[in-house]
């Protein structure tokens, strides 16, 4: 049963000239919400006030929220899967650019390289096609991939997709409220940080430079608190993109295994690739994107066929190669960006990437029979 006023003191603290809500207070409020102790009006007021203060974009608050959400999530025990961990590439969304599903495509291609990929994601919120939408159109039974079935699935598949609603029931407590509010809240930026499986490397896309700084610091804080050693790369395409951008520069924050942050800028030229306008990598419907991705993976249509790196390949192909390369680099498979591109190219032209996708489907079907 909800208590009508449990959040009132915390909401009032957000309206002070100098808001004094602490990260621990935020964690407590989220626990109240996830336990169903708060009514919708209080939740809406709290999330709105929190957004207005800007506290929800500060690293210590992001880290506190991530840790609290995972308390209420169906996490996958390290003992039941590969102890060395998996890799992920995912963006916050919210950049308003509506580009092709490049992170999902890159995850599949990276699996074709031989990397153990467990991508975390959901359906579209602000774009035409989210990762979950794309994979559903590729014939993936998203809801059968659960904390119980994943250990068996990853035994035989380098690629796995963890559909967020199946792992974070606490988030369901706020789904309708967020939709009715129609404004970004702290939950809009937490998705990339709440993958429920142990990770050894990840690429995290953000929609602003300021959020990139906060994300890098939050990631370093979480790694230090959990005493885990993983490599993370936060990326922000300066054109306004939560991916490695096909045009212009991308700012990156590398958080190493010791939680040290190094900042730099990269461009397509660093990958040995030409630039492409964003208009050439726009998203279609999930069905259209799925069809295009299959043509790329099958190499069965001339316009998507890879000739050689940097040689008039389709813009979407270069976009995928580049974002796969940064994931391969984060995972330690590639020693530089260009080597990552070559690994991605071979994954596609050899058919390994397509096999990784098909292997995931087969692993799901096999798990259904057990």
125: domain CATH number is 3.40.1030.10
State the virtual CA torsion across 178, 181, 183, 185 in degrees, nearest 10.
-40
Question: Span 96-101, mean pLDDT?
Answer: 91
Count of domains for the chain? 1
**What is the rounded CA–CA span in Å between residue 112 and residue 352?**
5
Model pLDDT for residues 269-299, shown as the tens digit of each residue: 999 999 999 999 999 999 999 999 999 999 9
Question: How far is Cα of residue 173 from the mean position of the Cα atoms in its chain?
Answer: 21
With respect to residue 246, please indicate whether it lies within any of the assigned structural domains: yes
pLDDT the model gives residue 122: 84
Q: Which residues pair with 320 in a beta bridge?
A: none
Question: Span 151-161, mean pLDDT?
Answer: 95
With respect to residue 107, please indicate whether it lies within any of the assigned structural domains: yes
With respect to residue 80, please indicate whether it lies within any of the assigned structural domains: no
With respect to residue 53, please indicate whether it lies within any of the assigned structural domains: no
Q: Quick check: 46 and 7 in contact, CB under 8 A?
A: yes
Domain that holds residue 141: 85-166+187-370
Average predicted confidence (pLDDT) for the chain:
94
With respect to residue 57, please indicate whether it lies within any of the assigned structural domains: no
Assess whether pLDDT exceeds 60 at residue 1. Answer: no
pLDDT band with cut points at 50, 70 and 90 for residue 303: very high
Three-class HEC string of the chain: CCCCCCCHHHHHHHCCCCCCCCHHHHHHHHHHHHCCCCCHHHHHHHHHHHHHHCHHHCHHHHHHHHHHHHHCCCCCCHHHCCCCCEEEEEECCCCCCCECCHHHHHHHHHHHHCCCEEEEECCCCCCCCCHHHHHHHCCCCHHHCCCCCHHHHHHHCCEEEEEHHHHCHHHHHHHHHHHHHCCCCHHHHCHHHCCCCCEEEEEEECCCHHHHHHHHHHHHHHHHHHCCCCEEEEEEECCCECCCCCCCCEEEEEECCCCCEEEEEECHHHHCCCCCCHHHHECCCHHHHHHHHHHHHHCCCHHHCCCCCCCCCCHHHHHHHHHHHHHHHHCCCCCCHHHHHHHHHHHHHCCHHHHHHHHHHHHHHHHHCC
Q: Quick check: 171 and 165 in contact, CB under 8 A?
A: yes
pLDDT the model gives residue 127: 67
Assess whether pLDDT exceeds 90 at residue 309. Answer: no
Angle at the Cα of 29 from the Cα atoms of 23 and 35, rounded to 5 degrees: 135
Model pLDDT for residues 162-175, shown as the tens digit of each residue: 999 999 998 888 98
With respect to residue 239, please indicate whether it lies within any of the assigned structural domains: yes
Model pLDDT for residues 200-235, shown as the tens digit of each residue: 999 999 999 999 999 999 999 998 888 787 899 999
With respect to residue 263, please indicate whether it lies within any of the assigned structural domains: yes
**What is the rounded CA–CA span in Å between residue 145 and residue 166?**
8
With respect to residue 38, please indicate whether it lies within any of the assigned structural domains: no
Q: Which residue, among 177, 176, 178, 199, has the nearest Cα to 188 in the 3D structure? A: 178
Q: Which residues pair with 118 in a beta bridge?
A: 160
């Amino acid at each position: 049963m909800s208590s009508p006023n449990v959040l009132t003191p915390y909401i009032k603290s957000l309206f002070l000239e100098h808001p004094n809500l602490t990260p621990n207070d935020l964690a407590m409020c989220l626990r109240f919400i996830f336990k169903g102790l708060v009514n919708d009006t209080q939740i809406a007021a709290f999330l709105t006030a929190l957004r207005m203060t800007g506290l929800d974009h500060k690293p210590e608050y992001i880290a506190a929220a991530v840790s609290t959400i995972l308390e209420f999530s169906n996490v996958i025990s390290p003992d039941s899967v590969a102890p060395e961990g998996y890799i992920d590439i995912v963006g916050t969304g919210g950049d308003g650019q509506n580009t092709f599903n490049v992170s999902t495509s890159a995850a599949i291609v990276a699996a074709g390289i031989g990397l153990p990929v467990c991508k975390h994601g959901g359906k579209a919120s602000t774009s035409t096609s989210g990762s979950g939408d794309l994979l559903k159109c590729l014939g993936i039974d998203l809801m059968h991939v659960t904390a119980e079935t994943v250990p068996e699935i990853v035994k035989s598949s380098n690629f796995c997709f963890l559909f967020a609603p199946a792992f974070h029931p606490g988030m369901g407590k706020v789904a309708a409220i967020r939709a009715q509010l129609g404004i970004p809240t702290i939950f809009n930026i937490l998705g990339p940080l709440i993958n429920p499986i142990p990770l050894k490397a990840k690429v995290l896309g953000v929609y602003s430079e300021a959020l990139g700084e906060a994300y890098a610091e939050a990631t370093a804080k979480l790694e230090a608190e959990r005493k885990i050693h993983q490599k993370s790369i936060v990326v922000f395409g300066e054109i306004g993109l939560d991916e490695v951008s096909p045009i212009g520069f991308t700012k990156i924050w590398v958080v190493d295994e010791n939680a040290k942050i190094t900042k730099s800028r990269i461009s397509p030229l660093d990958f040995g690739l030409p630039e492409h306008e964003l208009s050439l990598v726009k998203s279609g419907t999930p069905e259209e994107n799925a069809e295009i991705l299959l043509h790329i993976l099958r190499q069965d249509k001339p316009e998507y066929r890879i000739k050689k790196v940097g040689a008039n390949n389709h813009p979407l192909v270069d976009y995928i190669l580049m974002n796969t390369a940064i994931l391969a680099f984060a995972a330690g498979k590639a020693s530089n960006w260009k080597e990552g591109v070559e690994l991605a190219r071979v994954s596609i032209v050899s058919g390994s990437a397509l096999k990784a996708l098909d292997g995931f489907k087969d692993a799901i079907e096999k798990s259904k029979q057990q």
